[in-house]
Amino acid sequence: MSTDYLPEHRHPFRDRPRPGSGPTGTSSTTGPLKRNGPAERAAVVDLAAIRHNVATLRSWVQPAALMAVVKADAYGHGALPVARAALDAGATWLGLAHVSEALELRESGVSAPMLAWLHTTGTPFGRAVEENIDLGVSGWELEPIAEAAQRLERPARVHLKIDTGLGRNGATIEDWPAVVARAAELQESGLIRVVGIFSHLAVADEEDREAETDEQLELFHQAVETAREAGVDPDVRHIANTPGILHRPDSHLDLVRAGLGIYGLTPFSDRPATDFDLIPAMTVTTTVAQNKAVPAGQGISYGYRYRTAAATRLALIPLGYADGIPRPTIAAPVAIGGQRYEVAGRIAMDQFVVDLKTDDATVAPVGATVEVFGPASGISADEWAAAAGTINYELVTRIGARVPRIHVDTRPGEDVGAPTGESR
Ligand SMILES: Cc1ncc(COP(=O)(O)O)c(C=O)c1O
């Protein structure tokens, strides 16, 4: 766990209930601030939730293996602790966008198989080969990778990517035969080993767009067949992301790449994470920075987009768009003392305001714990994402560097067990 830098006596969530066990209701701090009070701001990440989610997703996909996608600092959750928790819970691969992200994990002692899939001409392919990091390949990368392998006298491990419709990286259907032919040559000469063939789904989170996912799967199987005919027979075929894992069992194949789901979030706009027994791992929390009485008609924040309807008290929340709280957010919920309130007016760089709609000065006093979102309050990243016109993926990933990640383990030492094999 990476709580070492935070002395135990200052841990804001030592007595925090387990995820899903109800509101925290911890807003009773009044009077002078406690010296050893809560952290000023924190994204508390529950590694027990990560392990639970990985084990749950494994039970959906087995016998397919699970790659935990921990790119972008594990969607803002902290790559190293999340990677370790995911591996503990039975993930057998780690997925990263950049080789540099994979190298950081290697340097921290993570030895599990890793795949990095987004490269530029500046990518350190040689380091990847030295560190046994698998490389996603759309086409052009084959030559610099082969050069690095030749120089190091060591075969590179590659996964060939076919673009079955997303239109991002991956070889086009037209270019695929040439890419597999070249990969077959390089494999024959011992410079590369084609470990996998993969693709990425475009619309599997939209449950009424089955036909387009069907088409992607069909193209994928044809691409694998073309590769086999060219003498390239991979160990693993993979195309499923979290939407595919949860909604398209026919996409599971040999390996799935699970990102969002391992963080306990749902990819579907109409189905909450609880439908899939997923537990949100991140709680964003802070404390009330000011509480004051204002009259009716008080304008709030830049542009006065909100005015108080009656005399009321305002709570100032010390998080803003510099911390990843999206500026376009309108009326998102927050919990203070187990009660839900709404953001009033614009989110500023460092702060936003909540209209407490009361003249009771004991409500949400300075120092009271604020939960922006998290399982204890029941406020989901989905609600915030909807209020901000974005998606939960972006919301958690962009929680800023000024918000320390605090990793907790609400069920230390638990045995996550083997996949149940239950069909769902
Ligand atoms: C290539 C690739 N695979 C898998 C994932 C994981 O997707 P999800 O977070 O929906 O599980 C991503 C994330 O964007 C990705 O880029």
Place of tokens 């949400």: 364
Tell me, yes or no, whether 95 lies in a domain.
yes
Judge if 34 and 136 occupy the same domain. no
Question: What does the pLDDT read at residue 37?
Answer: 57
Query: Which helix (H) or strand (E) is 291 found in, with range?
Result: strand 290-294
* Domain-terminating residue out of 208, 239, 268: 268
Task: State which of 98, 241, 245, 248 you would mutate to test the pocket of ligand 1, scoring each by most atoms of that ligand within 8 A of its C-beta.
Answer: 241
Q: Is the CB of 242 under 6 A from ligand 1?
A: yes
Tell me, yes or no, whether 414 lies in a domain.
no
Q: Is the CB of 397 under 6 A from ligand 1?
A: no
Alpha helices in 35-98 (DSSP H): 47-61, 71-75, 79-88
Q: Is the CB of 77 under 6 A from ligand 1?
A: no
Tokens of 89: 């819970």
**What are the pLDDT tens digits along the chain (424 aa)?**
333 323 333 333 333 333 333 323 222 222 333 345 568 999 999 999 999 999 999 999 999 999 999 999 999 999 999 999 999 999 999 999 999 999 999 999 999 999 999 999 999 999 999 999 999 999 999 999 999 999 999 999 999 999 999 999 999 999 999 999 999 999 999 999 999 999 999 999 998 899 999 999 999 999 999 999 999 999 999 999 999 999 999 999 999 999 999 999 999 999 999 999 999 999 999 999 999 999 999 999 999 999 999 999 999 999 999 999 999 999 999 999 999 999 999 999 999 999 999 999 999 999 999 999 999 999 999 999 999 999 999 999 999 999 999 999 998 877 565 443 333 2
Q: pTM for this one?
A: 0.89
Q: Is the CB of 115 under 6 A from ligand 1?
A: no
Nearest alpha carbon to residue 58 among 89, 33, 88 = 89
Is 67 annotated among the ligand-binding residues?
A: no
Q: How far is the CA of 293 from the centre of ligand 1 (A)?
A: 47
* Domain-terminating residue out of 268, 289, 324: 268
Task: State which of 53, 58, 69 you would mutate to test the pocket of ligand 1, scoring each by most atoms of that ligand within 8 A of its C-beta.
Answer: 69
Distance CA 191, CA 186 (A): 5
Judge if 326 and 177 occupy the same domain. no
Q: Is the CB of 258 under 6 A from ligand 1?
A: yes
Distance CA 248, CA 273 (A): 16
Cβ count near 401 (within 10 Å): 11
* Domain-terminating residue out of 231, 247, 268: 268
**What is the number of structural domains in the chain?**
2
Partnered with residue 370 across adjacent β-strands are: 286, 336
Judge if 156 and 81 occupy the same domain. yes
Partnered with residue 301 across adjacent β-strands are: none
Judge if 110 and 255 occupy the same domain. yes
**What domain range is 367 assigned to?**
10-39+280-408
Look up 302 and say whether it is catalytic.
yes
Judge if 377 and 260 occupy the same domain. no
Q: How far is the CA of 123 from the centre of ligand 1 (A)?
A: 20
Q: Is the CB of 351 under 6 A from ligand 1?
A: no
Query: Which helix (H) or strand (E) is 299 found in, with range?
Result: strand 299-300
Q: Where are the beta strands (DSSP E) in 5-61?
A: 41-46
Judge if 154 and 93 occupy the same domain. yes
Q: How far is the CA of 258 from the centre of ligand 1 (A)?
A: 7
> Of 5, 263, 292, 302, which residue is the catalytic one?
302
Is 168 annotated among the ligand-binding residues?
A: yes
Judge if 228 and 294 occupy the same domain. no
Judge if 148 and 216 occupy the same domain. yes
Judge if 377 and 241 occupy the same domain. no
Question: What does the pLDDT read at residue 39?
Answer: 81
Judge if 305 and 328 occupy the same domain. yes
Query: Which helix (H) or strand (E) is 290 found in, with range?
Result: strand 290-294
Q: What is the CATH number of the domain that holds 137?
A: 3.20.20.10
> Of 5, 34, 71, 341, which residue is the catalytic one?
71
